[in-house]
Amino acid sequence: MSENHDVLVVSPALPHQMEKLAQEYTLHRYDKSDDREALLESVADKVRLVMTTAGVGVSVELMDKLPKLEVITSFGVGYDSIDIAACTERGIRVTNTPDVLNDDVADTAIMLMLATLRRLVVGDQWARSGNWSKNGAMPLTTTLNRKKVGIVGLGRIGKAIASRAEPFGVELGYFGRSQQDDVPYPYFEDLLKLADWADVLVLACPGGEATRNLIDMNVLRALGPTGYVVNIARGTVVDEPALITALRDGIIAGAGLDVFHNEPHMNPSFADFENVVIYPHHASGTVETRNAMGQLVVDNLVAFFAGKPLITPVN
């Protein structure tokens, strides 16, 4: 098999896709190696492509050890775990898997919104525990209808969330880097003003340094004691200690969270709150979408080795 078809697997696609790739390419399993330094020494002069996932990424230190590296294919839409500027400086192309996960992630945002406001998990436990039969109806909850929903980041996923939220009779507004002329929702230049206006703040912006701790205590206080946060973006977008304090002290009413700091080692404080619905960073976690994401990683890999244009380049 040609040296030009060597792939370093930092984090894999789905098993059936990896099996097919192994039939056509030489896969060096960095993710499974007991001696990664020795593996890198043996393949550094051959590897032109690295396969990874958004959660794992590729460090600059690893790039430096792969002088022939040309392409990083990443499973996931976010790429904050890959230094794009460093890649561009080195002439390394990066691909991700956009669009194919928009629908499932947007569905999850709506699911978390409804589950949080209507206290679905509390209701489930109310019935399962016998409280319903012993103590009668659970306490009343909050409707989504007629609420003001502020979306932070009106990109492809943000717009998909907005289109799903509209039938619930909500009023929509958004905050982002710039106003978009092709949407009918009001634009807020100031995040604090959006938070003050909104009943529900939905986070759908990219991760990375530009948005780190964007949702801080000032934003949470502006959202207020009847407001809710839904995060399907990145854990880093939220000042997590501030969020825990806000939930504990009634500064906000509740949160629906798919993403956290230090995943998968979520801060255990979140598990103590009845007003929080927790989902384990699984917004795109359906068989159909994960298959499509994995296939896009594979298709980018195949295109590269065939000398064709990358399908979903980031840089």
75 beta partners: 53
How far is the C-alpha of 185 from the C-alpha of 162, rounded, in Å? 9
What tokens does 59 get?
A: 């460090």
DSSP one-letter code for 139: P
Q: How long a stretch of residues is the chain?
A: 315
How far is the C-alpha of 178 from the C-alpha of 184, rounded, in Å? 14
Residue type, 106: A
The kind and range of the H/E element at 6 are strand 6-9
Question: Checking phi first, is residue 158 left (phi over 0); if not, alpha (psi -120 to 50) or beta?
Answer: alpha
Among residues 28, 48, 234, 290, the one annotated as catalytic is: 234
151 beta partners: 174, 202
Q: Which residues of 128-156 are buried (b: 16+ CB within 10 A; e: fewer)?
A: eeeeeeeeeeeeeebebeebebbbbbbbb
Instruction: Provide long-range contacts, Cβ within 8 A and 24+ apart, for 91-95.
Output: 92/63, 93/310, 93/313, 93/314, 93/315, 94/313, 94/314, 94/315, 95/71, 95/296, 95/297, 95/300, 95/310, 95/311, 95/312, 95/313, 95/314
Is residue 281 flagged as an active site residue?
yes
Among residues 29, 36, 164, 281, the one annotated as catalytic is: 281
Is residue 16 flagged as an active site residue?
no
Is residue 261 flagged as an active site residue?
no
How far is the C-alpha of 194 from the C-alpha of 200, rounded, in Å? 10
What tokens does 133 get?
A: 């039969």
Among residues 263, 274, 282, 288, the one annotated as catalytic is: 263
The catalytic residues are: 234, 263, 281
